[in-house]
A and B are shown apart, each in its own frame.
Chain A
Amino acid sequence: MAEVSIRKIVKEYEGGVQAVKGIDLDIADHEFVVLVGPSGCGKSTTLRMIAGLEEITSGEILIDGDVVNDVPPRDRDIAMVFQNYALYPHMSVFDNMAFGLKLRKFPKDEIKRRVDEAARILDIVPLLERKPRALSGGQRQRVAMGRAIVRNPKVFLFDEPLSNLDAKLRVQMRTEIKKVHQTVRTTTVYVTHDQIEAMTLADRVVVMNGGVIEQVGTPNDLYHHPATRFVAGFIGSPAMNFLPCRVQDGANGGLAVRVTDTIVVPIPPARADRYGAFKGRDMVLGLRPEHLFEYHEQGKPNWTRIDLPVDVVEPMGMETMVHFFVEGAPVCARVDPATHAAPGETMPLTADLNQMHLMEPDTGRVV
């Protein structure tokens, strides 16, 4: 068990391409941290630098307080689970899990004890004699995790471990990983491009983009208080709606946000202070689909009615997604399935601006 500290690490490939541009991150003991971001954001490179599979161009990585920049992977006391499992195809499940221990010259009975225990935790005891190719995707994933657990390392590293599984199994294995972490409590760094995976697994999520960290925070933090437009758009599905807008004076001395000439919505007084400084400026309005829903006459008072022509309707069962266009920008609303919505017709909507986000269009900063 150990904490991991990353100090201004930079990864520059030959030809001057910077994959990671000097990031800082402190991971506490027992913590489960997820690095999430689109492909090419540097999350895997960061993980591989922690593992020692990539050289660090500059900066420092500390595991348990020791600088490990120049320590080869085998001496870092880490374990890693790969996207394609990377099981040794010619070895049985037992041998796969025992390989690292055998190389480290553990006594036979100790190896057996550890493998059996890991197999019990992961529920793969009946598979121990099989070869990897005789296993299903989920079983292989468990073995890959078992290989990490038996070593009892300081840090677990996961590199997109669920990407090769089908959707159903992915959800199941997600729970499984969380359960294992709750059992062994090893410090874990987990890389994924799937924001739902990040949200469900992490103690803290690190959103990366273009080689830098956009935001670090608990899942709820990121969802409700994104720091940048990128985070706001990346976390949450379907993604947040973004509309160019202008903050202006509203009725009764308050503020209002003007999206188009016909759509002008008053900003709730609770938020007015925060947005007062941006009066008269072009901004971007961010609004999650669930905060844009059908308008009821008997709904809360003062909620503005907005009429929009329906473009596409997607019933999902417990809710229905309705897509519109506002000035050419796509907008999605999450409405009650009982609501009548048909393409081409106009639908009355309203927005919960208590949940709105306002961003500067040039920097993407959420204000």
Chain B
Amino acid sequence: MADGTSIPIGVMTPRKSAARKNTLRAFSQRKSTIGFLLCLPLILLIAGFVIYPAFYAIYLSMLNKKMTAFVGFGNFTFLLKRHTFQLVIFQSCLFAVTSVVLKAFIGFILAHLMHNIPGTRQRIWRGLLLVPWVIPLALSTLTWWWMFDPSYSAFNYILNELGFANVPWLGVGWIARFCTITVNVWYGTPFFMIMYLAALKSVPEQLYEAASIDGASATQKLFFVTLPMMRNIISITILFSLIVTFADFDIVRILTAGGPQDMTHVFATYAFQVGIQSGDIPLGAAVSLFMFPILAFAAFFVLRGVTQRTKEIAT
């Protein structure tokens, strides 16, 4: 096999001569060879469809629109000067940060409420509250779109009944931004709830009992017992959600397609519009690549948090 070179040194040669003797040394070397072969599909998959495209993206982003000439960082500087792209940066951050903060906050409250009720009934409530997370996002966003419909919308009907005027939900910039965030919060909160509930359950009951005996109030228990014990999982969940939310495509694409006047575009939808719809592949690749620094930053801390948490669980 062509990959013989990347197998640990000395495995291929003894294989031919000594493998038949079935010795223990050959046995353990064969173990690492088998181990490598079992990972080979994974390695090929990641190399072929993640690592190679990543470098290819960098290369692509440095070409001109017709992909005939090398323009260096021309696409990046061009983008930074464009007002639309500045909007995209602002909106992506607004969308991600606001959504994640709201999701974390509501999720935290929900987890606490769930934790208050007896275990057997938790299952039912958990079942109900997880539904938004279970429905494919692209499909549930369609329903939201229909509910935000200006002419015969579910929400406007209620507003009318209550004596308010129609709201052009997806027609005005800031309201549309609010709508995209709402959908994201609706979709993502259950995830936070489940993660926090798991974390709450892992706090030993004795700690609370000890705190009670030491005279801690409910708020003090929250700040001195619950939050420190959950700190790690809270940060992992937030950073993880930040990555996913920042790179979100489905909601904005379906709900507004970036409009009105590009006021809801985020990186992913803008890259799609520029790269796929308008056919400027290099520019689209450049737009996507702008996400990389913040994703890498968050990913680094997620990995650190996960490693730490693993150690905590182990001890």
The answer to whether any beta carbons of A and B sit under 8 Å apart in the complex is yes
Instruction: Please give the residue numbers on chain A whose beta carbons come within 8 Å of chain B beta carbons, in ascending order.
Output: 52, 55, 69-72, 75
Cβ of A70 and Cβ of B21 under 8 Å apart? yes
CA distance A75 to B24 in the complex (A): 11
Instruction: Please give the residue numbers on chain B whose beta carbons come within 8 Å of chain A beta carbons, in ascending order.
Output: 21-28
Cβ of A70 and Cβ of B28 under 8 Å apart? no
Most buried by A among B22, B26, B27: B27
Nearest residue, chain A, Cβ from B27: A72
Chain A contact surface mostly:
loop
CA distance A166 to B27 in the complex (A): 38
Contacts of A70 in B (CB 8 A): 21-27
Contacts of B22 in A (CB 8 A): 70-72, 75
CA distance A93 to B26 in the complex (A): 34
- With A55-B24, A70-B22, A72-B24 given, can you name 14 additional A-B contacts, CB distance below 8 Å? A52-B24, A55-B25, A55-B28, A69-B24, A70-B21, A70-B23, A70-B24, A70-B25, A70-B27, A71-B22, A71-B23, A71-B24, A72-B22, A75-B22
How many inter-chain contacts with C-beta < 8 Å in the A-B complex? 19
Contacts of B26 in A (CB 8 A): 70
Contacts of A75 in B (CB 8 A): 22
7 A/B residue pairs, CB under 8 Å, sorted by A: A55-B24, A70-B21, A70-B22, A70-B23, A70-B24, A71-B22, A71-B24
Please provide the 9 A-B residue pairs with the shortest distance between their CB atoms, ordered closest to farther: A70-B23, A70-B24, A72-B27, A72-B24, A55-B24, A55-B28, A70-B25, A52-B24, A72-B22
Contacts of B23 in A (CB 8 A): 70-71
CA distance A69 to B28 in the complex (A): 13
Nearest residue, chain A, Cβ from B21: A70
CA distance A241 to B111 in the complex (A): 59
Most buried by B among A52, A55, A72: A72
Contacts of B21 in A (CB 8 A): 70
Contacts of A72 in B (CB 8 A): 22, 24, 27
CA distance A309 to B48 in the complex (A): 80
CA distance A52 to B21 in the complex (A): 16
Contacts of A55 in B (CB 8 A): 24-25, 28
Contacts of A71 in B (CB 8 A): 22-24
Contacts of A52 in B (CB 8 A): 24
Distance in angstroms from A201 CB to nearest chain B CB is 30
Distance in angstroms from A215 CB to nearest chain B CB is 30
CA distance A71 to B22 in the complex (A): 7
CA distance A359 to B155 in the complex (A): 93
Distance in angstroms from B36 CB to nearest chain A CB is 19
CA distance A70 to B30 in the complex (A): 13
CA distance A70 to B23 in the complex (A): 4
Contacts of B25 in A (CB 8 A): 55, 70
Distance in angstroms from B306 CB to nearest chain A CB is 26
Most buried by A among B22, B24, B25, B27: B24
CA distance A72 to B23 in the complex (A): 7
CA distance A70 to B24 in the complex (A): 4
Distance in angstroms from B78 CB to nearest chain A CB is 54
CA distance A71 to B26 in the complex (A): 10
Nearest residue, chain B, Cβ from A56: B24
Contacts of B28 in A (CB 8 A): 55
Contacts of A69 in B (CB 8 A): 24
Nearest residue, chain A, Cβ from B18: A70
Contacts of B27 in A (CB 8 A): 70, 72
CA distance A72 to B27 in the complex (A): 7
CA distance A70 to B28 in the complex (A): 10
CA distance A70 to B25 in the complex (A): 7
Contacts of B24 in A (CB 8 A): 52, 55, 69-72
CA distance A172 to B22 in the complex (A): 41
